[in-house]
Structure 1
Amino acid sequence: MTKVIVVGSGIVGLATAARLAARGDDVTVLEKERDLALHQTGRNSGVVHSGLYYPTGSLKARMGVAGAESMVAFARTHGVAVEQCGKLVVAVSDDELPGLHRLAERAVANGVPARLISAAEARDHEPHVSCVAALRVESTGIVDYRGVCEVLAEQVRAAGGAIRFGAEFLAARTEGTRVRARFTTSAGEEQLAADALVVCGGLHADRLARACGLEPEARIVPFRGEYFELTDAAVPLVQGLIYPVPDPRFPFLGVHLTKMVHGGVHAGPNAVLALAREGYRWRDVAPSDVADALRWPGLWELGRQNWRPGAREVARSVSKTLFARSLARLVPEIRREHLLRAPAGVRAQALRRDGSLVDDFLVQQAPGQVHVLNAPSPAATASLEIAAHLERQVDEALVTNR
């Protein structure tokens, strides 16, 4: 029986652990927190993405499209709250129409079910939306990702695997055909040997890779995604999901409106540099994380290339009025008083030395080891597909270590 250690109980780590356990591997999940999915997975907007935005042929595109089907099917099979409500990407002015048409072409290339519709047709779906045209994307949905994680964790346990909470992974070394991992618990430092190691470290992925003797080709830079939710009075203004046409000069999608699977509507996220890798508020500052980010040349180059939209994001972060104004471009009836602060998330984004974002999933392999070094959105949507990919990577890593 192959013994595998999986680091991280976010949705990618749990999906991978469940898949490996189901085939008969002896799986142990190490999680530094006291519960599942407390970081990226548990703080995202709950969207099942369609695979619309990603370069054709990329892992994100292929796994995103497949994940839009497999995640909805998984949730329905296991009784997790899910709704395939579709979304609108809206052009609010004529100068956004070329970008909308490019997205429509990308949808065709990626195999995403989508169609261009008129403003009148858009209002059939969203009566309060403002636009000159829209792209209707049918396969987009909403789901309870934490509920998915709870099912995956039960699958790990049912197959004989273990999930150890409060176990903070420190480092690992491959010694012969075995991998020896070090981690800390409330009882002190412990070690565990296995045939293979899979690290799904999220916000700490690059550091954990270096602690295992690998040199990642990019560094994690944390971006905080700030959300509001609409007041009860404003919730009826949104029926599903409403997105703007993304600015091609900026690597994020822009604030949007998202119906939540358990009720209510989220607005956001804004995107600003976080001052800690787990910095969910402006006052969360980790000097070592800030220094680590500032030492990376890629951050300075990213700032140089995107200073203008970046400044808008910061301004919107500190001004609810500006945030509301951005939302009112999509739904004019939304006002400042309709916004209530909601918990933020932090996106673990891999950034290269030249300032370019790693715009695809990135996995690095070593003898007996597999490290997920970039898995931002749509990783939750594609998590079951990523798990299948990582299963193959584990088998390859095992072969190279024999």
Structure 2
Amino acid sequence: MARIAVVGSGIVGLATAARLAERGDEVVVLDKETSLASHQTGRNSGVVHSGIYYAPGSHKALMSRAGAESILRFAADHGIPAERTGKLIVATRPDQTPQLQKLAARAEANGIDAQVLSPEQAREHEPHVAAVAALHVGSTGIIDYPAVCRRLAEIVREHGGEVRLGTRVLSSRTVQGSVHVETDAGTVVVDGLVACAGLYSDTLARASGLDVDVRIVPFRGEYFELVPEREHLVQGLIYPVPDPRFPFLGVHLTRSVGGGVHAGPNAVLALAREGYTRSAVVPGELAESLRWPGLWRLGARNLVPGAREVARSFSRRLFAASLAELVPAVRRQDLVPAPAGVRAQALRRDGTLVDDFLVERTDRQVHVLNAPSPAATASLEIARYVVDELDAVMAR
């Protein structure tokens, strides 16, 4: 039995901690927040992704496909609200159909069941949708991810582990076969460490001695909700055909397990790593983003779609107009603000986004550096992979 520290009480950290605890390791979870799943996990739209968008053979593709099954099975086993709804990816103009066909081909390459539908067939699933064609993906669903986190934390505790909230991890270093984890409450000495620090994953990795040539650049995703009397416009999940020039999926409509319909998110640069509002600014973090050459190169390649995202951030009318391309009955007055999220996206120096999950290793430490969506879907699979990586670095 080893003593392992896990940094982060989001779903990836807790899934990893639960897996370690269940096999008999002594686990301590450390998180600076006073509640579980305070950031990416607790602020997403609760979608169980199929893996259709991701490169065949990538971790995202393989782990999403497996995770769509394992996370829903976990929910069923533990009484957590979840539903396999399926989703429609909707082409609203004829010029979008080639990209829709490419997604259908990618679905086949990834072993995902998806059917191209006519407009009439699409309206059988979503009566209010506007489509010249659509792709139906049956394995997509919805789930209560914070409830999953609460149950994972219970599993850690049931197996003798500890979830220590309100404890900020500052750095770590490996010393003579153990890892000294420096926190704002003192030093924790363990046999191994897994860092799932989300928005601060690169910062912690560098503070722990890793040579990390990516930066987390935070992108805020702003959401609305449909007013209750308009929720009938959406039966399940409705997504646009993604713009291949832009590295995000576009605003979409998703029904939640707890009731209600989420609308969004857009994607704009956040001015702080936890910048959930336009007024949230941390000058040092903003300066760090602006100093990273990859941000400027990404922006230069995405001037038009990026400007469109910023304009939509300041205009509910434009936000509603984007949604109305999918469901024409959606109006500006149908939208009420909902909490925003921030995507912890790793960006390379050359301006390319890290497309896949990224894990780096050092002596007795494993750092998860890039785990944005669909990491919640794939969390149990990521945990399996991370534990194997930890075993490997501890066996050296």
> After TM superposition, is the score higher than 0.5?
yes
TM-superposed deviation, 1:62: 0.1
- Equivalence for 1:253: 249
The one-letter amino acid of 2:127's match is P
Matched, 1:86 2:86: yes
Matches within 5 A, 1:1-400: 1-184=1-184, 189-400=185-396
Whole-angstrom CA distance in 2 between matches of 1:393 and 1:80 = 29
SS at match of 2:63: helix
Whole-angstrom CA distance in 1 between matches of 2:95 and 2:245 = 15
Whole-angstrom CA distance in 1 between matches of 2:198 and 2:189 = 22
Instruction: Mark the runs of 5 or more structure 1 residues left unpaired by the alignment.
Output: none
The one-letter amino acid of 1:320's match is R
Whole-angstrom CA distance in 2 between matches of 1:99 and 1:109 = 15
Give the RMSD, CA atoms, in angstroms. Answer: 0.5
The one-letter amino acid of 2:132's match is V
- Deviation string 1:242-294 (CA, Å, 9 cap, x unpaired) is 00000000000000000011101000001000000000000000001100001
SS at match of 2:295: helix
Runs of 4+ aligned structure 1 residues displaced above 2 Å come to: none
SS at match of 1:243: strand
Q: TM-score, normalised by structure 1?
A: 0.98
Whole-angstrom CA distance in 2 between matches of 1:356 and 1:392 = 28
Whole-angstrom CA distance in 2 between matches of 1:69 and 1:164 = 30
SS at match of 1:251: coil
Whole-angstrom CA distance in 2 between matches of 1:218 and 1:182 = 23
The one-letter amino acid of 1:22's match is E
The one-letter amino acid of 1:334's match is V
Whole-angstrom CA distance in 2 between matches of 1:163 and 1:148 = 15
Number of positions where the alignment pairs a residue of Structure 1 with one of Structure 2: 396
TM-superposed deviation, 1:240: 0.3
- Deviation string 1:74-104 (CA, Å, 9 cap, x unpaired) is 0011000000000000100110000000000
Whole-angstrom CA distance in 2 between matches of 1:54 and 1:88 = 17
Whole-angstrom CA distance in 1 between matches of 2:230 and 2:326 = 14
The one-letter amino acid of 1:315's match is A
Whole-angstrom CA distance in 1 between matches of 2:224 and 2:393 = 43
The one-letter amino acid of 1:243's match is Y
TM-superposed deviation, 1:215: 1.5
The one-letter amino acid of 2:371's match is A
The one-letter amino acid of 2:339's match is P
The one-letter amino acid of 1:25's match is D
The one-letter amino acid of 1:143's match is I
